[in-house]
Each structure stands twice: as structure tokens, then as C-alpha cells.
């Protein structure tokens, strides 16, 4: 039976190749859309296991917090480390060179962002140099920076142009960012003594709810009330600013799925129509209608799933290699094909292969044998 399935698939090699290629390209696009859709709904994989929380102003992420909150947050039971983080919003040389740059608590930032690794000598040089900076590997490669290079940040809303020296390059974590000393910024703008938000690393991810409630309760009924949330929830605040992009992605993805269905259905309908008389001969030889239906269904599944393996597998290989971490300048997310996304795409491919073939296969298998033998497709 399987030899017959393979022989029929190779009967018209050009049609099978073009159909498989169309399915592969379409599912590559569908996989990319599904990846972005998933990332917009859940920016980080295994978010519950990430022991990092963000403490921001309850009134909104654009409002600052007092510098005095830092020691109080560090004293909360369950907090392993805490560092301030202030968006600077500068660019390098040209406005086209936009990237994430922050003024940070240099002493504690690597204690919080433990996933970021930096050579000890580079870290020491950064801590000693008040005008020093560190950049992520991805960002350094983008601009061709090397340790010791001068980096001038222009166009910040602070109205300050820091002259920085790149003292280190870190890997892992948010490696498309640049960090420099918050003290340098604070002195330049007249001891403002306020920060954008606080980065908190927990001793145990399971204590996130308790620690968050404790921090927020500590500053309740003050002029600067806080909202403590997981890193994933914090990123979703930025994603919400994009509008209902997920609905657009869902609509486009549905259109792509329907297009794949039409391609496969057209191919299988043509193939089955050409073999109506053959199906009648098989039934006259003792094959049951279920055997005929199974033969056509197997052809559709093999053809569609081969295209799916090429398209979805190619998408996973490409996006895992690229390791994208952002959707635009301000929205950070893990842009890789996750297991649940892969499962969804393969399930859609399987469903398409079944829906596309079941009706023409049923008609061919149930046709009157005498009339089918006279049929010319």
C-alpha cells in the first residue's frame, strides 16, 4: 500500500514539487507570524522561572522614583540584589543608530542581571571609570565597537551629551544594550537623585508575589507609590503601546492558512479526478472504499507534511540562529520558535492535509463503479 502511495506521489513530479514548495514557503511565513504572535503575548520563555522583577512608579513607567527607595527595597526579605535603571534615550552619531541605553547602578547591575557575563578585568575597569560604559556583544558587533573606543550619546531628552569610554563587552542576557554610570548622569543634570525604575533579583522565583506585595505595601500612600511586576508583565506594558497588533497577525495568519488549504485542496482534487477510473478498478478487485480513502489521505498527509518540515524547520533554524530579541526599539521579546508554536504549526499542517483531501477522496471511493470506469478525468 505504501509503495502505491509513493508511486502516485511521484507520478507527476513537477506538480508534487510545486505543491510541496508552496506549502513550505507558506508555512515558513505562517511560522514567522505565529512566532511574533506568541512573543507579543508572552515576551519571555519560562517567564515564571526568571527571578527578576521590576519596580516602577504606579502612575506610569514614564514617572521616576526616588533614589532613596533603593536601600529599602534591598532590605526586603527575599531580595537578593537590586539596581536602579534609567532610560537615557540617546543615539550614536546618527538618529538611525537608535538602541537601548541606560544609566545604571554600576555596582549592582551585574548582581541583578546574573545572566550577563563579563571578563573580571573589564568589569573592574568599568567600575573604576566614572565615564566608563559596557555594551552587549550584539550591540558591539552591530557598530563595530571594541574595548577602549569612545562612544558619545547624542539626542537624549536629558539635554546631556555623555562622552563615554567602552570598558567592557558582556555576553548573555540583554546583550543589545549599553550601560553607563548613573552617578555620571546625576551629577551632570544637577543631582536629580531620581531613577527610572528598579531591577530586583529574587532569592527564589516562587516568592515573587510575596516580595512584590511587600515592596508595594511599603510605599503605599506616599507621593511615589510603586507597582512591582514580573519582567514579562513589565515588557507587556511596552507591547500594549503598539496597539492590537496580535489581531492583525491573527488575521494575516488565517489568510495564509486558508491559502495553504486552497493549494493542497486543488492539487489533491486534480490528482484524484485523474484517478477516478483507477479507484473503480481497485474496488472491482476487492478493495474497500476505506482503502481508497486511506490511499488518498496518505498522499495528502505525506505531501503536506514534507512541505511543513521544510518550511517550519527552516523557520526554526533561521530564527534560532539569528537569536532576535526585539520587536522595534522599545519592545523586547524572545523571538524564537517555541515548542508550543512548533506544535501548533505542525497541527495546522496536518489539519490542512486532512480537510483538503477528505471530500474528493470520499466521492471517488463511493462513486458508482460502472460509471467511474467510464469516467475520463
Taking only the tens place, the pLDDT of each residue in 143-202 is: 999 999 999 999 988 989 999 999 999 998 778 889 999 999 999 988 889 999 999 999
SS3 203: coil
**What are the helix (H) ranges across the chain?**
2-9, 13-41, 69-74, 109-112, 120-128, 137-143, 182-188, 208-218, 231-240, 245-273, 276-284, 289-322, 339-366, 369-373
Residues paired with 79 in a beta bridge: 202
Taking only the tens place, the pLDDT of each residue in 263-273 is: 888 888 877 77
Taking only the tens place, the pLDDT of each residue in 203-231 is: 988 888 999 999 999 999 999 999 999 87
Contact 308, 31 (CB under 8 A): no
Greatest alpha-carbon pair distance for the chain in Å reads 95
Contact 365, 280 (CB under 8 A): no
Which residue is associated with the grid cell 524572545?
A: 334
pTM of the model: 0.71
Extents of the domains making up the chain = 2-44+243-373, 64-223
> What are the phi and psi torsion angles at 98 (to 5°)?
-85, 140
pLDDT score for 224 = 93
- Over residues 18-23, the mean pLDDT reads 86
Taking only the tens place, the pLDDT of each residue in 84-138 is: 999 998 999 988 888 889 999 999 999 998 888 999 999 999 999 999 999 999 8
Taking only the tens place, the pLDDT of each residue in 300-348 is: 888 899 999 999 999 999 888 877 666 655 566 677 788 888 999 999 9
Amino acid at each position: 500500500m505504501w509503495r502505491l502511495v509513493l508511486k502516485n506521489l511521484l507520478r507527476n513530479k513537477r506538480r508534487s514539487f510545486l505543491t510541496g514548495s508552496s506549502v513550505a514557503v507558506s508555512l515558513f511565513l505562517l511560522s514567522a507570524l505565529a512566532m511574533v504572535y506568541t512573543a507579543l503575548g508572552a515576551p519571555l520563555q519560562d517567564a515564571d522561572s526568571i527571578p527578576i522583577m521590576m519596580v516602577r512608579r504606579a502612575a506610569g513607567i514614564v514617572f521616576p522614583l526616588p533614589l532613596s527607595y533603593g536601600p529599602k527595597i534591598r532590605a526586603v526579605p527575599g531580595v537578593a540584589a537590586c539596581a536602579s535603571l534609567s532610560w537615557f534615550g540617546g543615539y550614536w552619531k546618527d538618529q538611525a543608530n537608535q538602541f537601548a541605553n541606560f544609566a545604571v547602578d554600576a555596582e549592582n547591575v551585574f548582581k541583578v542581571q546574573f545572566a550577563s557575563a563579563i571578563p573580571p578585568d573589564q568589569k573592574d575597569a568599568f567600575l573604576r571609570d566614572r565615564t566608563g560604559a559596557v555594551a552587549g556583544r550584539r550591540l558591539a558587533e552591530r557598530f563595530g565597537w571594541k574595548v577602549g573606543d569612545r562612544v558619545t550619546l547624542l539626542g537624549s531628552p536629558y539635554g546631556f551629551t555623555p562622552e563615554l569610554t567602552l570598558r567592557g563587552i558582556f555576553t548573555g542576557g540583554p546583550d543589545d544594550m549599553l550601560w553607563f554610570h548613573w552617578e555620571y548622569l546625576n551629577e551632570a543634570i544637577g543631582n536629580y537623585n531620581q531613577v527610572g525604575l528598579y531591577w530586583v533579583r529574587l532569592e527564589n522565583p516562587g516568592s515573587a508575589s510575596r516580595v512584590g506585595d511587600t515592596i508595594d505595601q511599603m510605599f503605599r500612600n506616599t507621593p511615589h507609590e510603586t507597582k512591582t511586576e514580573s519582567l514579562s508583565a513589565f515588557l507587556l506594558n511596552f507591547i500594549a503601546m503598539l496597539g492590537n497588533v496580535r489581531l492583525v497577525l491573527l488575521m494575516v495568519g488565517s489568510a495564509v492558512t486558508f491559502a495553504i488549504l486552497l493549494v493542497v485542496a486543488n492539487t489533491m482534487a486534480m490528482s484524484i479526478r485523474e484517478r477516478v477510473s483507477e479507484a473503480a478498478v481497485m474496488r472491482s478487485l476487492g478493495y474497500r472504499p476505506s482503502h481508497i480513502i486511506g490511499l488518498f489521505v496518505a498522499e495528502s498527509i505525506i505531501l503536506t507534511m514534507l512541505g511543513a518540515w521544510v518550511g517550519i524547520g527552516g523557520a526554526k533554524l533561521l530564527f534560532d540562529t539569528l537569536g532576535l530579541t526585539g520587536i522595534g526599539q522599545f519592545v523586547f521579546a524572545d523571538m524564537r520558535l517555541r515548542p508550543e508554536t512548533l506544535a501548533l504549526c505542525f497541527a495546522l499542517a496536518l489539519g490542512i492535509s486532512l480537510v483538503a483531501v477528505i471530500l474528493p477522496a470520499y466521492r471517488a471511493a463511493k462513486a458508482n463503479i460502472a460509471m467511474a470506469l467510464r469516467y475520463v478525468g
